[in-house]
Amino acid sequence: MRLRRISEAALACAAAAVLAACAPGPGGGTPSPGATSPSATSPASGSQAPSTAPATNDATPPPTTMGPEDLGPNPSSSYPEAVPTPGAGNAELSIQVKATADAAPQNFTLVCRDGSPAPESKHPTAEAACAALKKNPALLERPVTTGKLCTQQYGGPQTATVTGAVDGKAVESSYSLTDGCQISAWNAVKDILGSAGGAS
């Protein structure tokens, strides 16, 4: 009789264990914490389980579109040869040209009104000079040539100075023919310098 009771108790315990293993867990259909699953077993020693996390890349991807700031400064601002803005054509200038350092200077007076020479002008090419100043009132503003490569050519000992005002703005410029940059600047204003100031 005692053996029978022990057997019934053992069967009851075994049945309770089976029911606990098969009963659904709190997640619905998930085995209870005591149950084991083949997928929950640890991988073999020396191997790692494949990671399903996406690979991360710390590098910032390049932009797919370009904005105005990506184009740099306005290209038109870097062209000194841009079309000049015409002015009123008013000027009062004193021009002095010297053939050599020891030569007597030639002095001209250029007075322009609305792009045409005034009667008080004493200038050999006044018509062309006033037209040039009306077309480009900044013509006598010397560009900065510091650091610019200039051809090492000599155009002659001539020098010239121009002082006065163009459209109410004071100007004071000097010219020579000592290298390619100076020769280019001289030729740009040769009508203002007069016939004696032309450089070949």
Residues 47-102 pLDDT 10s: 454 455 555 555 555 444 444 344 433 333 333 456 778 889 999 999 999 999 99
* CATH class in words for 91-143+150-197: alpha beta
C-beta neighbour count of 129 within 10 angstroms? 26
R_g (Cα) of the chain, nearest Å: 47
Q: Look at residues 179, 175, 165 and name the one whose alpha carbon lies nearest to residue 198.
A: 175
Quote the DSSP letter at residue 81.
Answer: T
Contact 77, 51 (CB under 8 A): no
The pLDDT of residue 44: 46
Q: What is the Cα–Cα distance from 162 to 166, expressed in whole angstroms?
A: 11
Task: Give this prediction's pTM.
Answer: 0.56
Question: How large a percentage of the chain has pLDDT more than 70?
Answer: 54
The pLDDT of residue 183: 93
Lowest mean pLDDT across 7-21, 37-51, 91-105, 146-160: 37-51
DSSP letters, 7-19, are HHHHHHHHHHHHH
The pLDDT of residue 83: 79
The pLDDT of residue 128: 96
Q: Is the pLDDT of residue 184 over 70?
A: yes
Q: Is the pLDDT of residue 158 over 70?
A: yes
Q: Is the pLDDT of residue 190 over 70?
A: yes
**Domains of the chain: which residue ranges?**
91-143+150-197
- Sheet (strand 116-117) strand order: 116-117, 106-113, 91-98, 159-166, 169-176
